Copies of this chain bind each other. A is one copy, B any other.
Amino acid sequence: MIRKSLGELAALVGGEVVGDPAIEVSGAADIADACEGDIVFAESPKHLTHALKSAAVAVIARPEALNSHKPLIRTANPRLAFAKVLGALAPSSERPLGIHPTASVGSNLQSGDGLSVGSNAFIGDDVSLGSDVWIHPLVYIGNNVRIGSGCVLHPSVSILDNVTIGDNVIIHAGAVVGSDGFGYTLAGTEHFKIPQVGTVVIGDDVEIGANVTIDRARTGKTVIGRGTKIDNLVHIAHNVALGRHCIITGQVGFAGSTRVGDYCVVAAQSGIADHLKIGHQVTIGAKSGVMRDIPDGAKVLGIPAVPDQQAKRQIIAAQHLPELLRRMRELEKQVEQLQAKVNG
């Protein structure tokens, strides 16, 4: 267990201590999980009230938080401070340096310092790895793959031939990068496979969730922009280009050749059709089906996806539909009676 004083943690996050800076913190937890010795964070007065009632020894709070019976670290961004404190208090996994003797390594491996290759991992020929790369057991890396520095590949990840990965990329267990794109053309009565000879290029600081699949391009490249984060079980088809700093949540799918701008958020289980152009800072609501281009800054929702506000009006209206049908029948009856009276 790592212990740090409140003063050390405040210095780490650039915050101000209210109370005794010598108090010892031995863990960081969400309020619901807090035990003795833990520090928690509170972004709102309501959360602060909960935090003060919890078993936590101290609270990370906003600058305006008042003095309390628990010591505080006051800072402009409690969530970010909490993330940093979590990292500082977490025991770091011990990383066994070197290449495990049961790993298979091809010819011409180039690598920087601090390499870890776990047992039964496979590395093909002509692979280049930066410094401080951690390849867990049972990972597969094909031929002619380039991986930058500081990357972590979790167990059973597969990186197929010719893929390029930037620095500080984290790839979770079971993810596949560089599988063939899904492309066929009918030849008589059979589907003829279009060879997928392109590749995948992953930018720096990308994180890829467990069992995600990212297909290689037919020709050219599938691209994941710098800083983009991808949740579990997402499917990214061939020749897709995701921009920088996007957030792609669980089970989303992108069809082939679609281009997405920077700072987009795509919520869970959405699907984006092929060959679309999605702008920058676009938000796509959960379970949407995007069939058209989306301009910069738009928020869309629904199947097919339409502007957010319109979708919400449609949803509310749809809930009135059975009633609307009844009102329509009633009105038709009344009009008929009126007609009888007026015309008769």
Q: Which residues of A contact B (CB under 8 A)?
A: 27-30, 32-33, 77, 79-80, 82-84, 86-87, 90, 93, 100, 102, 104, 118-120, 122, 136-138, 140, 143, 154-156, 158, 160-161, 170, 172-174, 176, 179-180, 182, 184-187, 189-195, 197-198, 205, 207, 209-211, 213, 215, 217-221, 227, 229, 231-233, 235, 237, 239, 245, 247, 249-251, 253, 255, 268-269, 271, 273, 286-287, 289, 303-304, 306, 310, 313-322, 324-325, 327-328, 331-332, 334-335, 338-339, 341-343
Contacts and interface: CB of A to CB of B under 8 A. Distances in A.
B173 A179 contact: yes
A232 B256 CA distance: 12
A229 B120 contact: no
B255 A30 contact: no
Contacts of A156: 138, 140, 156, 158, 174, 176
A251 B84 CA distance: 34
B220 A29 contact: yes
6 shortest interchain CB distances as A-B pairs: A33-B220, A317-B321, A140-B155, A179-B210, A158-B173, A104-B119
A215 B210 CA distance: 9
Interface centre among A87, A138, A227, A328 (most CB of B within 10 A): A138
A213 B213 contact: no
